[in-house]
Amino acid sequence: MISLPANEFIDLKFSDALNYRNDLERAKIIGLAAIGVIISSKEDKKNITFQDDVKIILTAEVDTSESKWMQTARKLRPLVDYLSAVPHSLVECREASKAKIIDSIVIKVPDMIFDDVCAVYLEEKKGFLEVPLLDLLSMAKKGINLGNIRREIEIAFFRKVPVIITRMRSPSGHLLDKIASYSVAYSLLGGSLDRWVCSVSTYPYHALERRNLLDKGVKKVEV
């Protein structure tokens, strides 16, 4: 049996600028030490009040299907601690993986869009692969085969690219707790259980060191 500490967890896509105050209380209840709050502008950042008990890490996403996504990324980069790109094709994924200002690639489609070339780019710049758990659940409910996503994750692990599972709120406001999160990831994606505990329970420790997020109070979880 694996024991998970209560107060050393983080979710990088936990809330947004509009809802974060209410979500801070939820974060305390489920035992998060830090949460990621998604912002999209300077105004969003100005409206964030940073806390002592639950640390706030500012995050943002850019959609690479938009024609000016790189311009958007450049504007957001100075505002956030963590910037991810959401590609929809192999070409978009390779371009985003190579871009130095992008921290992670988010896999939200069942098609095979992340290959070894993308993984090499991420490894070289110390980037990450991110998988949103609610998107996985949605695809599974629709009967969509997740085989390609499993292969993409294996490519990332082979290249020693950290894989991060993000939970976020569902439209109904429901939050998956830590245990449910890694159980769902393990059930849908297979592989080693310890792998998903490490990916879901906390931001991987070597990833923290890469981005200096240790200064924000994010800690290593011993499994």
State how far the Cα of 149 lies from the Cα of 22, in Å rounded to an integer: 32
Whole-model pTM? Answer: 0.80
> For helices 178-189 and 147-158, what crossing angle results, to 10°?
100
Q: Is the pLDDT of residue 148 over 60?
A: yes
Domain ranges of the chain: 9-216
State how far the Cα of 182 lies from the Cα of 124, in Å rounded to an integer: 28
Confidence at 56, pLDDT banded by 50, 70, 90: confident
Mean pLDDT to the nearest integer, 109-129: 94
State how far the Cα of 70 lies from the Cα of 63, in Å rounded to an integer: 9
In terms of Cα–Cα distance, which of 35, 153, 42 is closest to 105? 153
State how far the Cα of 177 lies from the Cα of 69, in Å rounded to an integer: 33
pLDDT value, residue 220:
43
Average pLDDT of every residue of the chain:
78
Q: Does CATH place domain 9-216 in 3.40.50.970?
A: no
State how far the Cα of 144 lies from the Cα of 214, in Å rounded to an integer: 38
16-25 pLDDT, tens per residue? 888 888 888 8
Top mean pLDDT of 10-14, 65-69, 172-176, 201-205 is at 65-69
Confidence at 90, pLDDT banded by 50, 70, 90: very high
For the chain, the straight-line distance linking the first and the last C-alpha, in angstroms and rounded, comes to 10
- Of the listed ranges 70-84, 88-102, 155-169, 195-209, the one predicted with least confidence: 195-209
pLDDT value, residue 198:
52
100-110 pLDDT, tens per residue? 999 999 999 99
Burial (Cβ within 10 Å: 0-12, 13-18, ≥19) of residue 79: middle
Confidence at 70, pLDDT banded by 50, 70, 90: very high
Q: φ and ψ at 72, to 5 degrees?
A: -60, -45
Total Cβ atoms within 10 A of residue 120: 16
| Bridge partner list, 10 | 34
pLDDT value, residue 4:
37
User: Look-up: residue for tokens 């109904």?
Assistant: 172
164-219 pLDDT, tens per residue? 877 655 544 455 566 666 677 777 777 665 666 555 444 544 454 555 554 544 44
